[in-house]
Chain A
């Protein structure tokens, strides 16, 4: 028997807690932003803010959005890095082999989607839990990359052999705005629309919240889960293309560097949102929070290694505060 709390007028402190809980992420971001603006003279400059977006935001934002799709159906994708790597490998190898950049890019997207499809078969087809399925994919993917690269040798594009379109993708700009940032913005908008306005997004979130009800409502839940994981692979592949176009090299298993931060940003965005649902704006704010902290700590002149401690402490504090206030509210 569940007891419903009677509707009493919320007292003032309680109302404040409510506001804090509802806007925790924005408040955290504003606080951190303000602290660094005062603490360092260089933080609040156009050049620096731009550098945050280019260096600390773009790739992680895309990877975290991929993660958010997996999390939206109640799963997790430990193989986002694998999709990034496969896309990057296909892209760089085909460009190196003299294929047109467009063909190579499409092949890269296909490779990422294939990783997602493999996960989809394991999760929707066989019924393995997403954590274990994507963990398996991550490990198999690692071996495949080693095999493809003779034990882990990077695939370089010789400076002379980098096509213009390739370079444009990584380093180009349109109207002064870096191309990777434009692509990230497009993905953010598209993903937000899909998750909030498309039927697919509604069903995906419902599956993440209570899968049995979705099934009892006559909806093919498994198919939606499969699509979510394929989408995750595809989006991660975009990050793979941008990554390799920026550094003009493919390094095996380098994509896994994004994994833990992508999980962190996604879950920060999820747990700190009002309804506790996975959501793209939350994920993006989570990525921004991580990026600003990393950049800000760098500018404070703090020892490079302390920055990681600071980032960790900050995330820890945000999580602890949000879980504790949520429990009180």
Chain B
């Protein structure tokens, strides 16, 4: 299921053109880092499966997938913004309004359902909510030129407030055929949400990793001058990324309603874990860039970690610590490797 991740070994150039290739060692280092992360991923799975027999059962894996669906969709949305905004989180791409977006979209869906509207209308309303939030971010960043960190921070406040207004800070229960379907189990008695996550990832990966538009997003994020020189509509692409991220927020909102049988408050809690997950995802790509599949792997990594801790009766409070340590380890490793190269 490698997408941009080509496992082909680094082939050496034919003789003929040969100057020192300074980044060769850097590439090895990057490869080592990526291999190391994958090994760590597998090793943790292995340890859990040896100590908790149930861990690697189909049922449990399905559970983890299902439980990771919401954060996975959000993290993939953020990944798109990271790709188009570049790796500098302060001046580049970040969408702090994503988690609040999910909360409001969920509330909109649940309210619509409660008011007796059908699933189609409720879904459309939730997605439209997400889309609008994304559009506001896009206008603020591309139109008004506000730094994404500040623009999406302000939008986050507005959206979180609107959610409170709509829900009066209460749970809005909802029950629709769609929600029943989403919270049921699919083939192999794996939760439907697991399938939703996989299909969503495939679609997102197809668009981001396999279409010209996706390729252009990378160019815009990593080297805007090169994108401009190639005649790409840089502003439009950045705007598109924020709108796509908004849509993901709307979609995650619908999923969260099914998961909790209603809209609940406190969606903001998901923001920073999602940011960490999306940032960690780039370790799983050959080029050390954010990718949809990399983000999925990173989401599952966290999911398995939580799940394994539960099975082993280890307090899950360690999860955020492990996440924090991981991000520091990964980033220190890359930084130190890069410094050695220089």
Contacts and interface: CB of A to CB of B under 8 A. Distances in A.
**A–B contact via C-beta, under 8 angstroms:** yes
Interface string B128-154: 000000000000100011110111011
Interface of A is mostly: helix
A143 B305 CA distance: 14
Interface in B296-342: 315, 317-325, 327-328, 331-332, 335-336, 339
Interface in B269-315: 272, 275-276, 279, 315
A223 interface: no
A264 B154 contact: yes
Contacts, number: 145
B154 A315 contact: yes
A144 interface: yes
Interface in A262-296: 263-264, 267, 271
Interface stretch (B50-58, B155-163, B184-192, B216-224): B155-163
A132 B150 contact: no
B331 A132 contact: yes
Contacts of B157: 260, 264, 308-309, 311-312, 315-316
B25 interface: no
Interface residues of B, number: 47
Nearest to A267: B150
Give 9 closest A-B pairs by Cβ, nearest first.
A143-B321, A139-B324, A308-B161, A312-B157, A146-B317, A312-B158, A309-B161, A305-B164, A140-B324
A305 B90 contact: no
Contacts of A138: 272, 324
A312 B154 contact: yes
B149 to A, nearest CB: 8
A140 B324 CA distance: 5
Interface stretch (A37-45, A121-129, A154-162): A121-129
8 contacts: A126-B336, A142-B324, A143-B320, A143-B322, A144-B321, A308-B160, A311-B157, A316-B157
A127 B339 contact: yes
A313 interface: yes
B89 interface: yes
A310 B161 contact: yes
B180 interface: no
Contact of A323 (B146, B153, B327): B146
Nearest to B154: A316
A311 B160 CA distance: 11
Contacts of B162: 309
B327 A320 contact: no
A136 B324 CA distance: 4
A316 to B, nearest CB: 4
Interface of B is mostly: helix
B158 A142 contact: no
A143 B165 CA distance: 32
Contacts of A308: 157-158, 160-161, 164
A54 to B, nearest CB: 23
Given A143-B318, A305-B169, A128 B161 contact: no
Contacts of A132: 89, 279, 327-328, 331
Contacts of B321: 139-140, 142-144, 147
A152 interface: yes
Contacts of A311: 157, 161
B153 A260 contact: yes
A131 B94 CA distance: 12
A307 B317 contact: no
A315 B146 CA distance: 12
Contact of A312 (B155, B320, B322): B155
B196 to A, nearest CB: 27
Nearest to A146: B317
